Structure 1
């Protein structure tokens, strides 16, 4: 006897929303049968083999992770904006998703959210990664994470392929952070030349950030 599941169960099996299944039914992509009361029912065997995007089957049942990051607490407005864009995009695609919010320099690999994200990718717990911009993940080295995603059959979606307007500001902040760390050592040498060099670099970074 053929086994049928409800639209909610079929959506769970495919990792999409029920509205997506209704749309697929209306377009003929995945047609549901109807009960006498008009409710949609899906043949389990058809749901189990359905692959609308031609992706690895396992990736369809793994969750979509949307990742948002800013460098400092005073950028909360920008973080909220990123999250809103990610949520609207994922919802429009009919994806079931989770948002990871992260705080820290784009040059750091030790951010709590990023470490959690990479661990889950390596463990096969992510089917899709969504970003507003590539640099939200890492300033340098994002390609390494993307390579891991490819090896683990994780689809990477970057909503905006253009320049991120906050790139220069965050880059200046990252450079200033590096300068600050090394300046302590150079000041410790009690070198007037080193002090003058550091002061000049810090001033240049401040000027660039305020431009």
Structure 2
């Protein structure tokens, strides 16, 4: 169950755009409008195999909770019937509760599709491995807003920058913890 673009609806129902508009006016098909005024047409998938479709959102820290809400709202507008799973934690950390619940369901072959806004929202590294893993279990891992035109050099530099950022944050976080611990020990 999802809303799709006019072109996909035309193909699905094997009709013209005029027919879709007429059906909309007569109430024969459910539609909704995007913020830009474009129609989205409801398609009920014929085969309900009991598999779940998931929206996965993630941010690195609690300070970014508003971004988590924006991701969820953005994806819910396109995939309103999908279940939402969210995490707050690093993309390098594979012990995230929501992430692991998705993998558990994947290994049981209960997942149809997982949708994320960007590759790094699912995992910071190894996205192609997980995409292949999903394919092998008959599921789909979909990214909505990643640029397709990145060169391999751009991707590599982004990966290196994120590695440096993560480990710098860990280093300074531990350093701050040790300084605070020393100050607490001194004041006692």
Kindly indicate whether the alpha-carbon contact (under 8 Å) linking 1:131 and 1:157 is maintained by their aligned counterparts in 2.
yes
> Residue in 2 aligned with 1:154?
139
Deviation at residue 100 of structure 1 after TM alignment: 0.6
- Residue 71 (1) aligns with residue 63 (2): no
- Residue 175 (1) aligns with residue 167 (2): yes
Write out aligned runs for 1:179-198 (5 A).
179-180=171-172
What is the alpha-carbon distance in structure 1 between the residues aligned to residue 126 and residue 9 of structure 2?
38
What is the alpha-carbon distance in structure 2 between the residues aligned to residue 85 and residue 183 of structure 1?
37
DSSP 3-state at the match of 2:85:
strand
Deviation at residue 179 of structure 1 after TM alignment: 3.2
What is the alpha-carbon distance in structure 2 between the residues aligned to residue 116 and residue 98 of structure 1?
12
- Aligned-CA RMSD value: 3.8
What is the alpha-carbon distance in structure 2 between the residues aligned to residue 170 and residue 73 of structure 1?
19
What is the alpha-carbon distance in structure 2 between the residues aligned to residue 28 and residue 129 of structure 1?
25
What is the alpha-carbon distance in structure 2 between the residues aligned to residue 113 and residue 173 of structure 1?
23
Kindly indicate whether the alpha-carbon contact (under 8 Å) linking 1:122 and 1:148 is maintained by their aligned counterparts in 2.
no
Deviation at residue 143 of structure 1 after TM alignment: 2.1
Q: Which runs of 5+ in 2 are unaligned?
A: 15-27, 30-43, 151-158, 177-188
Kindly indicate whether the alpha-carbon contact (under 8 Å) linking 2:92 and 2:124 is maintained by their aligned counterparts in 1.
yes
Kindly indicate whether the alpha-carbon contact (under 8 Å) linking 2:58 and 2:68 is maintained by their aligned counterparts in 1.
yes
Aligned length: 138
What is the alpha-carbon distance in structure 2 between the residues aligned to residue 65 and residue 24 of structure 1?
22
Kindly indicate whether the alpha-carbon contact (under 8 Å) linking 1:71 and 1:170 is maintained by their aligned counterparts in 2.
no
**Which residue, 112, 132, 148 being the options, matches 1:127?**
112
DSSP 3-state at the match of 2:76:
helix
Kindly indicate whether the alpha-carbon contact (under 8 Å) linking 1:127 and 1:155 is maintained by their aligned counterparts in 2.
yes
Runs of 4+ in 1 over 3 A off after TM superposition: 167-173, 177-184
TM-score norm. by structure 1 comes to 0.53
DSSP 3-state at the match of 1:127:
strand
**Which residue, 102, 117, 121 being the options, matches 2:87?**
102
Closer, same or farther in 2 for the Cα pair 1:169/1:104, shift >3 Å?
farther
Deviation at residue 175 of structure 1 after TM alignment: 2.2
TM-score norm. by structure 2 comes to 0.59
DSSP 3-state at the match of 2:167:
helix
Q: Which runs of 5+ in 1 are unaligned?
A: 1-15, 30-38, 41-46, 52-56, 185-211
Kindly indicate whether the alpha-carbon contact (under 8 Å) linking 1:118 and 1:145 is maintained by their aligned counterparts in 2.
no
